[in-house]
Structure 1
């Protein structure tokens, strides 16, 4: 597994989501109760950018068709989304957010 440095550990406001593009990836980073989670930034149903969606607890709602995903696992939790979004392992080290890829 390769780890890439993706953002500063304070880049994601508490209870919010941001989009980050790095190493050819478009990633959504979520801060849920002080824990950072990462998924692909594109909804599997309508190709909406999840960073433009609405984060409630551990679920992100797509801004296009209101499908929802669990940001901890990527699992689709509300129709019309029915396919999971890819999630990534994350670690915080030396003030940086690291994402596991590959």
Structure 2
């Protein structure tokens, strides 16, 4: 499958230090603004399937609201237990004020 990008938001919708769940095809993706740079990872915790968009963002780490697992939103890495599996990562492009996320 060729990489395709979907418009998911505009820059004014996502100020630095914020995050939101977006849909890219059938996938629910967490879009995050860390100090003006945009990152996208899977929105589902790899430990307990909690929606990370309901958790807390601290710098470049998001905390799952269910058991407190932490993930790096830049790399998808599981930083603290109980999660030990990384999140899927998606490429992000900004064109003017439009934010696009890849389908893989």
State the partner residue of 1:75: 77
**Stretch deviating more after TM superposition (7-16 or 64-73):** 7-16
Normalization by structure 2: what TM-score?
0.91
> 5+ residue gaps in structure 1?
none
Deviant stretches of 4+, over 6 Å: none
> Does residue 59 of structure 2 align to residue 57 of structure 1?
yes
Counterpart CA distance in 2 for 1:32 and 1:68 is 16
Normalization by structure 1: what TM-score?
0.93
User: Residue by residue, what CA displacement relative to the aligned partner does 1:7-60 show, whole Å, maximum 9, x if unpaired?
Assistant: 112222320111112421211111111111101110000110011111111100
State the partner residue of 1:6: 8
Q: 1:22 to 1:89 in 2, by over 3 A?
A: closer
Contact 2:25 2:103 survives alignment (8 Å): no
RMSD of the TM alignment (CA)? 1.1
**Stretch deviating more after TM superposition (69-78 or 90-99):** 90-99
> 5+ residue gaps in structure 2?
none
